[in-house]
Every structure is written in structure tokens, then in C-alpha cells.
Amino acid sequence: MPDALLAVARVIGEDEQLRQWFHHIATAPDNIRASAVGRLTSQMTAGGEDAKIIAAFGLLSDGPTCRAVQQVIYDRYGPMK
């Protein structure tokens, strides 16, 4: 897994609010996940976040990528409670 996605997994895993958001999108249909990721990346862009981090979060709109990140988060931080 690319370092950028591992960084995304770490950020999500260490932030309860992001974990809640991620759990919702990881279990959502593809169109809902893509829409939610699009909204987040738009907010990040408007907030002046780093373009590389925004691009990495944008990769979560892809189902297989999202599931791979989900597995990393669950392996490192445990499943959602």
C-alpha cells in the first residue's frame, strides 16, 4: 500500500470522528461513498490542506482501495465499536 494511503489510515484510525465517518462510507454503496469523499476533499481543498493528502483521501472513493484502507485501520486500531 502506498505511503500516502498508510498515512490516511493512520489519520483516520487516530481520530474518532474520522473513524465514524470512514465506517459510514466504507460500508456505503459506491455512489454514496464517492459523494461523501468528494464532499470531504472539496472541504479540504477549501481549507487549504496539502494537495497530496487531499489526493490520498480522494482514493477512498474506489471500493477496493477503501476496503484495503479499512483492513489496515481494523488491523491497527481494531474494528468500530
pLDDT digits (tens, 9 = 90+) for 37-74: 999 999 999 999 999 999 999 999 999 999 999 999 99
Please, are residues 16 and 73 in contact by the beta-carbon 8 Å criterion? no
The whole-model pTM stands at 0.85
CA torsion, ordered 26, 67, 69, 61, to nearest 10 deg: -60
pLDDT digits (tens, 9 = 90+) for 45-55: 999 999 999 99
pLDDT at 63: 93
Q: Locate the domains of the chain by residue range.
A: 3-77
Query: CA-based angle 40:42:45, to the nearest 5?
Result: 110
Q: What is the DSSP letter of 62?
A: S
pLDDT at 66: 95
Query: CA-based angle 69:29:68, to the nearest 5?
Result: 15
